Amino acid sequence: MNPLVAEFLGTLILLVFGNGVVANVVLARTKGNNAGWLVISIGWGVAVFVGALCSAKASGAHLNPAVTVGLALAGKFEASKVFGYIVAQMLGAMVGAVVIYYFYREHFKATINADDKLSCFCTAPIIRGTWQCFFCEVVGTMMLVLPILLIEPASLENFSGVSAAKRPEFGLGSLGLVPVAVIVFGIGLSLGGTTGYAINPARDLGPRIVHHFLPIVGKRDSDWEYAWIPIAGPIAGAILAALVFVLVT
């Protein structure tokens, strides 16, 4: 499979499972309504696992512009491929968000709270504070990218089923599919309570754009005032992770 196709499909699958669990928990009259944060955190861990499982062999399963940037800065990924990967990730995230909207369309209609509808597409903080929220996204993303760089891929071959020598690109698949899912699950449980842990610019911006254009009954604005934080914060976190990696290795 072409690596860009793999990034597109992997990110699409990531968003279907990830935004899907949010919709199942927050939208009205679903089977999972009010199931809670634990279910959302588990769902996002599963989302990363499945998305990475489908794309690891072909692209390294970045599925996240912050991961792509961090790996490139750490010398683990060719800089010339960064732009293509990010475009593929953005498109995959947008299509995934569209799928979830039409899948849960009747429940979007049944939901009165416009903030709940928006949360099925993108993140928002519980307590607004520009630099505090930015800091939280930086730290959350750093706790994703740094382990990807630090954990020895060869020691995790049994988790992914793909030897380090056969992986064409470094990424989530290099870390091992089960460990990276556990890390994302852990980030959700430990660090997700403030901003909703975007830790992925494509995961937040792509669906936010989709929310802006979709004909969702009773929707609010797409909160563009906040939108830069889940873009800049994760990128800054990835840069810091790469810097730490270079300094200690």
Q: Please give the class, per CATH, of domain 3-248.
A: mainly alpha
Report d(CA 93, CA 64) in Å as an integer.
10
Q: Which tokens is 72 given?
A: 């490139």
Where along the chain do its domains lie? 3-248
Query: Please, are residues 168 and 219 in contact by the beta-carbon 8 Å criterion?
Result: no
Terminal Cα distance for the chain, rounded: 33
Query: Please, are residues 216 and 101 in contact by the beta-carbon 8 Å criterion?
Result: yes
What is the full DSSP assignment across 168-210?
SS-SHHHH-HHHHHHHHHHHHHHHTTTT-----HHHHHHHHHH
Cα-based angle 134, 136, 127 (whole degrees, multiple of 5): 80
Give pLDDT tens digits along the chain (249 positions).
999 999 999 999 999 999 999 999 999 999 999 999 999 999 999 999 999 999 988 999 999 999 999 999 999 999 999 999 999 999 999 999 999 999 999 999 999 999 999 999 999 999 999 999 999 999 999 999 999 898 855 444 433 334 444 444 666 654 567 888 999 999 999 999 999 999 999 999 999 999 999 999 999 999 999 999 999 999 999 999 999 999 998
